Structure 1
Amino acid sequence: MRAYFQMFAGYNAWANHRLHAACAMLDEADYKAERGAFFGSIHGTLNHLLVTDRMWLARLRGETLPPHGLDAVIFHDLATLREARSHEDAALSSHVAALTDEQLAGVFRWTRIADGSVVTQPMWATLTHLFNHQTHHRGQVHGLLSQAGIDPPSLDLPVFQKASGLGFIA
């Protein structure tokens, strides 16, 4: 199970890097334009992903959650956001790499920001949600890039697996 989540942490970083690089091809007005997405713009959606990853990493480490709402824009330009994203991806990858199979199978409790409900589930299910949430919103940004006239990069897991050698038998 540990290798599975290490692969997803690597995929998460890879996909984020590719998506941010594509966003850098937009001018600032197009990048920040209201596009009717749940978090408004491409910029708003990418900030949401960073905010939620910071929340998840704090939860996983047993730390106090950052004081941001789910729709907070904590970085106001793409360059600074990209740097923070890269740092967060490295921290998440490092955390996941340190988990044991026993920890992944163990019980994890967390509180949902949206409604205050307490969720109790195995750690592996929590990490599955974290990585699925990232994929969900990256898919939205992928579509928004298309609307903005940018050819979005492939974010398919097998493309990452082939490039990284993870999940392929030589």
Structure 2
Amino acid sequence: MLRHFQMFADYNRWANERVYEACATLSGEDYRADMGAFFGSAERTLNHLLAADRIWLKRFTGEGEAPTGLDAVLFEDFAELRAAREAEDRRIIDWLNGLQEAELSRIISYTPISTPTKVELRLGPILAHVFNHQTHHRGQVHTILTSLGKPSIAIDLVYFVLADGQRWQ
């Protein structure tokens, strides 16, 4: 399973790069436009993904910055957000590369931001959630992009494995 999660971290980096490349073509107005996604705009959705990843990594490692809200706009400037996303993706990859398989069974205790009830889960299922969460919201950004007339981007896992991710076959 550890290798599987390492692949997802690499895929996550790859897919995020493509989404950010596509968002870089948006005007500032379109980037910030409320398009009806859960967090409204591409800007707010991309900020949410970074905020969520920082929250999870803080829970896993005890290190790093973690916002107190899931709707935090960490960076209004697109270039700064993009650089922070790239750094966070590298941080996730590096952290996973330092794990041992047995650590996936470690219990993680935390209190969700959205509800004040303590939760205890094994790391493995939480990691599955983290990567699924990324895919879910990247899909929303993809919908925003195509709603604004931008071309569809190929960010499916199989495209990653066939291109940059061949080492995961």
Q: TM-score, normalised by structure 2?
A: 0.94
Using the TM superposition, name which of 16-25 and 68-77 deviates more: 68-77
**How many Å apart are 1:64 and its aligned residue?**
7.5
Structure 1: which 5+ runs fail to align? none
SS at match of 2:35: coil
For 1:32-77, what per-residue CA distance to the aligned partner results, in whole angstroms no more than 9, with x for missing partners? 1111111110100000000111111111102486243111111012
RMSD: 1.3
For 1:70-109, what per-residue CA distance to the aligned partner results, in whole angstroms no more than 9, with x for missing partners? 1111101211110000000000111111111100122222
Counterpart contact for 1:7–1:166, Cα < 8 Å: no
Q: TM-score, normalised by structure 1?
A: 0.94
Residues 72/37 of structure 1: CA separation in 2 closer, same or farther (3 Å cut): same
SS at match of 1:17: helix
Q: How does 1:77-92 map to 2 (within 5 A)?
A: 77-92=77-92
Match for residue 40 of structure 1? Answer: 40
SS at match of 2:110: strand
Match for residue 56 of structure 2? Answer: 56
Structure 2: which 5+ runs fail to align? none
Q: How many residues align?
A: 168
1:71 is the counterpart of 2:71: yes
- The one-letter code sitting in structure 1 at the alignment partner of 2:119 is V
Percent same amino acid at aligned positions? 46
In 1, Cα distance between equivalents of 2:46 and 2:64: 22
In 1, Cα distance between equivalents of 2:168 and 2:63: 32
1:21 is the counterpart of 2:44: no
